[in-house]
Amino acid sequence: MGRLLDEGWSMRVLVRDASKLEDSVRQRVEVVEGGAESDEDRTRAMAGAEVVWFLMHSMGGGVSTAAIQAVAAIVRRG
């Protein structure tokens, strides 16, 4: 993440609790507070995005197939 930001990319992150982000991260990214299980929150987080990385699976916490499919559908719609 730091490397992309250093190269000039803008980044938006979807987090449940923005207060848990380190200040150094919060100052460099656009933060959308919400949950990946919410259609509205995912839509807000991905609005206008050129690229989406879905990293919840790496957290080991039972991300549903439906959530992954929803992300893929939003990305396909552009």
Give yes or no for residue 5 having a pLDDT over 70.
yes
| pLDDT at 54 (0 to 100) | 72
Which has the closest alpha carbon to 38: 10, 12, 74?
74
Query: What pTM, to 2 d.p., does this model score?
Result: 0.67
Number of domains comprising the chain: 1
CATH number at residue 42: 3.40.50.720
Give the domain extent around 14.
2-77
pLDDT in tens, 13-63: 999 999 999 998 889 999 999 988 888 888 888 888 887 777 765 555 555
13 to each of 2, 10, how far by Cα in Å?
13, 10
Which carries the bigger pLDDT value, residue 74 or residue 23?
23
| pLDDT at 42 (0 to 100) | 85
